[in-house]
């Protein structure tokens, strides 16, 4: 990767760029101008974001384009200064660069904040363990640009803790979760606040963990998928899920006074918990499987044309729920007829028809597989 590094400082002279190392370091040979003169000039140049460190001699130093996780860190601890190219732990205003290091599982065990995490093209999948422990709570607050995954390898975050010392992952200000896979376990909390966004993140809340978006100042967020036996706290916001077109199940509680749930994408969302959100449910695409008495919380259920709503149980809604539908409703699973899918075939879903790929293929009314491409 080539960075826009000037080799001439107006009024002071030139310097030579000798070597760029591991995407993050550049050796520079100084004669004239001095390091201080170059730094003064760069501070007035809005395109320059260099930090200066590791002065080896009077004429040679290292320019770090941005704090980066070393190619060969000494251990997996985020808060070990020797693991970073700048020789110190990144600041709250830094966007950290991650390339192809020998250690890709990084531990965050105390309060930590950065502006963003940038995963370079070609970087392998990284994982971050934000873990509250006997030594205290742990947190990772991402409060600037958020996650920028240029690698396509979906960074993962595991957030957990112990009683009294939580693990917390927070997206603040306008930070995005991009394509992260975020698993929140017992005594862990993942928060979206301010105007942060979910991108196509996969949010999994396991038993004892929570995803909380009640602190948003925007109307809500969209994510790739939600799943798990933990809690999703909406507050009064709208959670839109399904951008990844996958089949998932939430058996935990989705809560929120005035909060609402919108399902998009071609996959199926199974709701099997006793949910308490009261702002209603919107089914725009795919299918919604109601697998518990109070799966839909309260408010209006709206269905777009061509979508499917399956009742696995005989629900007792919390109130007389208004129902608006141009889609298909199946009141009992045994009404559906199993249709095996053999070879290359496809199923066409029309407003009066429904198919699910959750666990088994079920269709109602029975559909005839047709050869691919017909």
In this predicted structure, what is the pLDDT of residue 374? 38
In this predicted structure, what is the pLDDT of residue 310? 63
DSSP secondary structure string, 264-285? -SSSEEEE-S-----S-EEE-S
User: 282-307 burial string, b = 16+ CB within 10 Å, else e?
Assistant: bbeebbbbbbbebbbbbbebbbbeeb
E strand spans, 74-135: 95-98, 105-108, 111-119, 127-131
Asked if residue 159 lies in contact with residue 209, where contact means CB atoms within 8 angstroms, the answer is yes
In this predicted structure, what is the pLDDT of residue 133? 94
In this predicted structure, what is the pLDDT of residue 47? 40
Which residues are CB-neighbours of 283 under 8 A, at least 6 positions away? 263, 301, 302, 303, 304, 307, 309, 327
The model's pTM: 0.73
Question: CA separation (Å) from 234 to 24, 38, 48, 366?
Answer: 39, 50, 40, 37
Phi, psi at residue 83, to the nearest 5°? -85, -5
In this predicted structure, what is the pLDDT of residue 307? 62
Q: How far is CA 152 from the centre of its chain?
A: 13
Phi, psi at residue 8, to the nearest 5°? -135, 130
Domain ranges of the chain: 234-334
Q: What is the mean pLDDT for each group of 10 consecutive residues in the chain (374 residues)? A: 40 38 38 47 43 37 62 94 85 89 96 94 94 96 96 97 97 98 98 98 98 98 98 98 96 97 93 95 89 88 71 48 47 36 32 40 40 38
In this predicted structure, what is the pLDDT of residue 87? 79
């Amino acid at each position: 990767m080539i960075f826009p590094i000037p080799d001439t400082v107006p009024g002071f002279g030139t310097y030579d760029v000798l070597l760029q190392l591991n995407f993050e370091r550049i050796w520079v040979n100084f004669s004239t101008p001095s390091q201080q003169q170059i730094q003064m000039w760069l501070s007035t140049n809005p395109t320059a974001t260099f930090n200066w460190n590791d002065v080896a001699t009077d004429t040679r130093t290292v320019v770090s384009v941005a704090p980066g996780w070393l190619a060969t860190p000494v251990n997996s601890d985020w808060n070990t200064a020797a693991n970073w190219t700048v020789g110190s732990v990144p600041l709250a205003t830094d966007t950290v660069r991650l390339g192809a290091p020998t250690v890709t599982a990084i531990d965050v065990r105390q309060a930590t904040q950065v502006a963003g995490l940038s995963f370079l093209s070609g970087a392998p999948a990284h994982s971050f363990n934000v873990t509250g422990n006997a030594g205290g709570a742990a947190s990772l607050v991402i409060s600037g640009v958020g996650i920028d995954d240029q690698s396509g390898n979906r960074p993962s975050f595991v957030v957990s803790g112990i009683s009294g010392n939580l693990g917390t992952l927070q997206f603040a200000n306008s930070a995005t979760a991009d394509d992260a896979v975020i698993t929140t376990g017992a005594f862990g909390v993942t928060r979206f606040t301010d105007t942060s966004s979910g991108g196509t993140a996969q949010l999994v809340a396991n038993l004892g963990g929570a995803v909380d978006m009640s602190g948003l100042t925007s109307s809500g967020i969209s994510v790739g998928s939600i799943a798990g036996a933990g809690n999703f706290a909406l507050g009064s916001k709208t959670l839109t899920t399904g951008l990844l077109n996958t089949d998932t199940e939430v058996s935990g509680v989705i809560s929120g006074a005035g909060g609402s749930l919108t399902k998009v994408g071609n996959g199926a969302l199974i709701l099997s918990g006793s949910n308490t959100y009261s702002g209603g449910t919107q089914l725009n695409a795919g299918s919604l499987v109601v697998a518990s008495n109070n799966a839909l919380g309260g408010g209006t259920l709206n269905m777009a044309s061509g979508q499917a709503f399956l009742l696995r149980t005989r629900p007792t809604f919390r109130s007389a729920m208004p129902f608006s539908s141009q889609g298909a409703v199946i009141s009992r699973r045994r009404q559906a007829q199993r249709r095996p899918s053999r070879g290359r075939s496809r199923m066409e879903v029309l407003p009066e028809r429904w198919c699910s790929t959750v666990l088994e293929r079920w269709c109602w009314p029975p559909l005839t597989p047709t050869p691919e491409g017909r």
